[in-house]
Each structure stands twice: as structure tokens, then as C-alpha cells.
Amino acid sequence: MAIEPRRTVLPGVPPFTVQDLLKFPEDGNRYELFNGSLLVSPAPTPRHQRVITRLLLILQNAAPPGLECLTTVNVRRSDENLYIPDLVVVPEKVSEAVDLWYSPSDLLLAVEVVSPSSQTHDRATKVGAYAEAGIPFYWRIEPLEGPTVYVYELGGNSYAGPVAHKAGTTVSLASPFPVTFDPGDLMRLRG
């Protein structure tokens, strides 16, 4: 007897809203909204988690007092737009007041680590969405490129750049705070 794969039935109908998302089951998927369209991502791969963890440690060690580095937080732009960046930098005083989601204006930096399932969204959709939301800095990390860190800086209503920083080089960035690292460190094993 063949076993049928488990299927999740989601409440609501497109276009979806944040209120619909609050009714979704806890099934291990990450649900985001872009203009009412649902973006579903599976749990991150070990490589993806390694990059996020390494970058989190680098940023936490460099962050000045008053700033906090967090992973996978909810960022609500409107009732039809809810994003979940892989990593963000926010003021600690804002974090103390947040219960369920941040406003895009709370973020100083949003970071996405590109996975096979998220390439189009991380390279295009999120670049436009984060710029329109007014997030000052966006970093896109491409693990399969060594890794390479692409840095976008907001200029008006769109991002300038990106400026690419490849593994094996020392990156010194001034914003949202001074930090220096080799993108290759994001993929190195601890051993």
C-alpha cells in the first residue's frame, strides 16, 4: 500500500492577507506575502543555516550597543505584504516593543541567503519590495558563489548597486555599522 504525502490545506482564498496567515497551520513552512500572493519556503538547508549563523555571530560581535541582530522575524508592510528576512538589524529599543512583527521602518538591514527555492524572490522580488518599503540596506548572500555578498544601499525609492564582495577578500562595510569579514568565513566549517 502506497502512503499518500501529507498535504496542508490553507484557510482563505487569494489574494491572501496577514489575517489569513495567522490562521495557517504550523507545518514547518515559511509563509510570506507579496501583494497578496503567497510565497511558501521549506525549512532552510544546513548550508543556508550555516551562512545565517556565521553572519549572525559576525554582526553581533561588531554591532554597537543599542542594536540587535535577529533571524527570521516577521516584517509587516501592509495587510497584503509580510516578509520574513533571514537576518535583520534593528534597534534594541524597538525589539522591546515588538510582539509579532516589525515595521519595515524598524529595520536598518535585511539579509537574504539565496537557496534554490528562493533565487527569483531573493534576487528580484525582495530587492524591489525591500526598497519600496524603505529598508536602508539589503544584503543578498549567494552561497554557491564562494559565497559572495551583494550589498545594496537605498537611494531614494530604489537600491543602488549591488556591490559584490567575493570569498577570499576582506570586506569592510561602514553601514549600518562598521564590520569587517571575509565572505568565505560564512561557509567555513568549525573543524
Q: Are strands 30-34 and 37-41 parallel, antiparallel or unpaired?
A: antiparallel
Residues 6+ apart with CB under 8 A from 41: 29, 30, 32, 115, 117, 118
Q: How far apart are CA 130 and CA 103, in angstroms?
A: 11
Which pLDDT score, from 0 to 100, does residue 13 have?
Answer: 78
pLDDT of residue 120: 81
Alpha-carbon gap, residue 54 to 182, rounded angstroms: 11
Q: Are strands 109-113 and 137-142 parallel, antiparallel or unpaired?
A: parallel
Q: Which residues contact 8 (CB under 8 A, 6 or more apart)?
A: 25, 27, 29
CATH code: domain 43-186 is: 3.90.1570.10
Q: What is the pLDDT of residue 111?
A: 97
Each residue's pLDDT expressed in tens, for the chain with a length of 191 residues = 566 655 666 767 789 999 988 888 887 778 888 889 888 887 788 899 999 999 999 999 999 999 999 998 999 999 999 999 999 999 999 988 888 899 999 999 999 999 887 788 888 889 999 999 999 999 999 999 999 999 999 999 899 989 999 999 999 999 999 999 999 999 988 76
